[in-house]
Structure formats: structure tokens, C-alpha cells
Amino acid sequence: MSTSIPETAKSAGRTLICPRRSRRSGNLWCPNPKSPRRFGSRRKRPPRKSPRKRPTSWNTRSTTITTCTEPPTSATRRNPFSRHVLFPLPLYQASLLPSSRPPHKQALTSLFLLAASFYLNFFSRIVFAPLLPAMEQDLGLSHGQAGSFFLILSCGYFVALAGSGFLSSSLGHKQTILLSMLAIAGSLLLMAAAPSLILLKAGIAMLGMAAGIYLPSGIATISELFAPASWGRAYGVHELAPNLAFLTAPLLTALLLPALPWQLILLVPAAAILVSALFYGLFGQGARMRGAPPNLAHCRQLLRLPSFWLMVLLFSMGIAGTLGVYSVLPTFLVSVHHLSGQDAGVLVGLSRTSTLISALFGGWLADRFGNRRTMTAVLLLTGVSTVLLGLAPATSVRLWVWLQPLLAVCFFPAAFALLARIGPPLIRNVVVSLTVPAAFVIGGGVIPALVTRLADRGEFGRGLVLTGLFIGCGALLVHLVRERTPQAGP
């Protein structure tokens, strides 16, 4: 393609280059012969203006511009004429915006309602441990058949927790929390009225799935209700719920089981959850931003990290020391040490009173001695105490029932702090959402199922000994986890 050259350019006696290359190099040529410009001159650029500060949220006649912490949803991407323009912000930056937080009193009310919901969520899952001896006697089940309930529950929990992002991205966080509570109540009603073992197992699987969709939405809601400076206290109140459930579930079961069958006891948390859902729906605040479905690219990036698999194994050991041992402990005390169901429930429930303080003590140990040292010591001591619990005679078994959970709960503050450092900041939320469910399946499902299988052979104590050895081996793996050096800046 030829280009005509004006006479002014020919008289300059210089070689011309194409306009595109000239524009890139800064050499300009004026095609107007009346006002020629020398070749090689550089255009003077106007001074760069400082960027104007724009508000974080404003409404115009044609476009609504908002801030969000997640990328646009698939519906927004599919609609090119959408009036909503989304600017992704990190979670901690979005929470700093004053317009993104409700008044303090409303935030506190919502926090306590969320803590109550989480308490009933956790209570509904662990109430089967003190009810297990009565269910075995009523349904004619062996220890292994009854122990499979925990594996079914944990698998349902894993599936729902891993895919909860798809639900919260379409419904929103508040609606997801309400759906979780209603589904938990429905699954408890199904189990109470189940005429066969198959329907009972189906209800247990539904319970695990219903409970699994709560946690990501609950955490996201708390992070939006409070400023980052208050996250520690807010999460501390929220995390009191599991420890309180460990304390009250055996005590309530021991109180009601002599007078009521286990089917009617399941109606108590079902009714409480319905009342809690009503109060949260009327007075609770939900996160305005929606969840995001799992990013497969981030998942693949995480699965390539050896430290991720090590943390899954370590969390499995930590959960086995808490939830795994708790799940089989009432049955162990009844079948091996010949305690009554009421006495076993009271002993297990009261032994969890000290965990409310020891969990805070575990956080202090992590800050004082470091995450790795704390995890190593806690896993080693928890493994030893679990071994001694399985070997202890009837005269000293009560001591180890009290001491074992006191040590086990110190694992999690240091473990979560280390878990946040194994991947780049972009995938840290994926790290938590994949590590905890996978570890819950192993520590809260597979371990109790294997222990109860050994109990069918008359080796209940040996099952606890092997569990303690499994937990103690974690002390050798902690130092193999590689941390990513934190980078400066947001």
C-alpha cells in the first residue's frame, strides 16, 4: 500500500516511516504543507492530572456503580447491558467503607443471632454421640453400623461446604443462612419420624449437607458487619458456639434420655432452630455482597502445593483429637467401663467446661512460642493422652476424659494461623474452604467409623490407642509445612 508524500516532506530530505511507527517512537509528521513541522520533533504532552477521588458508591440516572469483594457473577457477565458496574475490592478494604456496615447495635444483635444459629447447627451434628448407645439398643445396631452415621454426616458436610459458593452467589448470604437453618430442622424431623434405617441415613446425609452451607456465609456476614479491628472479638464470640455445644449436648441428653426416647429428643433442637431462623429473618442483618462460586483455576493451583496436603493431614489429626474422640467416647464409657448412659453423658459434658478457657490459652501459646512449636507440642500431648485414655483402667479413666479435650482444643488457633500462610493471598479463602471439609471427613468421619469397627471385635480400647498414635505422628509433620513470606502492602 503506497502513501502519497507531500512536497514539503520530500524537500526535507529525510526518510519517512509509517505513521504508526512514527507515533510509537514519538516522531511526528504534519501533512499540512502550509504549516510544516520538522521531522523528529516531539509532541509536548499536557501535564498529567492527579486522579480525581471518586466516591465508593454513587447513583446516576443511567448507571449504578457499587463496590464488591467478589468478581462479577455469571449473570452480570452474560448481560452486556447491565446497569451495574462492579469494582472488585479486597474484603478488608470493603469492610473499611462506612456505608458497608450497619449501626453497632444492629451488628451486635446480628452477631449474637449468628452465634445462636451456629450453636444449634453444631449441636444438631454432635448430639448423635451421646444418643448413640440408645440408638444402638433401639435399632439393634452394632457399634460399626452406628459409627457409620458419622462418616455419612461428614461426607454430606464436605460436599455442601465445598459447593456452598454456588448457592450463596445466587441467593445471597442471609437467604443461604436461613435455608441452612430450615433444612437442618427438616432433616431432624425426618430422622425423628424415619420408619427405616435407610431413611434415617438419608436424613443424616441431609443434615450434613444442610449444616455445611452455613459456615462460609456466616463468616462472610460477620466480616462485613464489623471493621477489621473488631474481627478477632467478633469471631471469638462466634467460635464460642462449638465449645458450648460440646458442653451442653451431652448434659441435655443425659437430662432428657431417661424420660424421652431419642426420636423426641431430636425434636428439641429442631424446634429451637425454627425459632432462631424466625428471629434472624426478622432482626438479623445479612451481607449485601453475594458469594462467588469456586474458581477452578485457584483450586488447581492449591492442589499442587504439598503444604496443602500436609495441612489437610494435620487438621485431620486435630479434628480426630476433638470431634473424633468425642463421637465415640460415650459409647466407649458405656460398653467398656459399664457406666450408665446418663453418667457417661454428664461426665463427657462436664469435661468440656475447661475447653472454653484452654482455647484462648492455645492462642496465647501460638503468639508466645510460635505456631509450629505450639502445634508440635499439642499434637504430641494430645496423642499421648488419647493413648492413655484407651489403656486406662476404670479407676483413672475419668482423669483422662477430662485431660484429653483440655489439650486437644489448643491445636486450632495455631493451626489456622499457619494455614493462612501456606498460599498466596489470592487463594487463601480457597485454602480454608478446602482444607477444613476434607479434614472433617477424615478426622470426624473415617476415624470414628474405624474405631467402632474395632469395637465390634472387642478392641474398643485398641481403636483409641491407634487414634492416639495417629494424632501423635503429626508432631513429625509440622515442620515440613512451608510458609509463604507475607508481602508488604494490602
Are 360 and 479 in the same domain? yes
240, 355 Cβ separation under 8 angstroms = no
Residue 136 lies in a domain: yes
Residue 396 lies in a domain: yes
Chosen domain end from 293, 313, 336: 293
Are 301 and 271 in the same domain? no
| 236-262 pLDDT tens trace | 778 778 888 988 999 999 899 888 899
pLDDT at 70: 42
- Concatenate the DSSP letters of all residues of 209-240 into one string: HHHHTHHHHHHHHHHHHS-GGGHHHHHHHHTH
pLDDT confidence tier of residue 49, bands split at 50, 70 and 90: low
Are 260 and 398 in the same domain? no
Q: Which residue has the higher pLDDT, 461 or 163?
A: 461
The amino acid at 477: L
Are 267 and 136 in the same domain? yes
Burial of 58 (0-12, 13-18, 19+ CB in 10 A): exposed
Does residue 467 register a pLDDT over 60? yes
Are 156 and 230 in the same domain? yes
Residue 52 exposure: Cα atoms within 13 Å on the Cβ side? 2
pTM exceeding the 0.85 threshold for the entire prediction: no
pLDDT confidence tier of residue 305, bands split at 50, 70 and 90: confident
pLDDT at 46: 60
Residue 317 lies in a domain: yes
Chosen domain end from 272, 293, 314: 293
Does residue 23 register a pLDDT over 80? no
Residue 339 lies in a domain: yes
pLDDT at 473: 93
Average pLDDT, integer, range 360-375: 83
φ and ψ at 467, to 5 degrees?
A: -65, -40
Q: Which residue has the higher pLDDT, 158 or 8?
A: 158
Are 258 and 322 in the same domain? no
Residue 20 lies in a domain: no
Domain span at residue 253? Answer: 107-293
The CATH number for 347's domain is 1.20.1250.20
Strand partners, 42: 27
φ and ψ at 7, to 5 degrees?
A: -65, -30
Residue 36 lies in a domain: no
The torsion angle over the Cα atoms of residues 411, 234, 216 and 227, rounded to 10 degrees, is -120
Residue 55 lies in a domain: no
| 87-102 pLDDT tens trace | 333 343 444 444 456 6
323, 150 Cβ separation under 8 angstroms = no
Chosen domain end from 293, 322, 346: 293
Average pLDDT, integer, range 444-457: 91
Are 322 and 274 in the same domain? no
Closest by CA to 156, choosing from 121, 194, 204, 216, is 204
Does residue 10 register a pLDDT over 90? no
Per the structure, the count of domains in the chain is 2
Are 395 and 263 in the same domain? no
438, 157 Cβ separation under 8 angstroms = no
Are 162 and 208 in the same domain? yes
Are 236 and 274 in the same domain? yes
Are 262 and 327 in the same domain? no
Strands 64-68 and 58-59: antiparallel
Residue 45 lies in a domain: no
Average pLDDT, integer, range 437-450: 91
Are 354 and 213 in the same domain? no
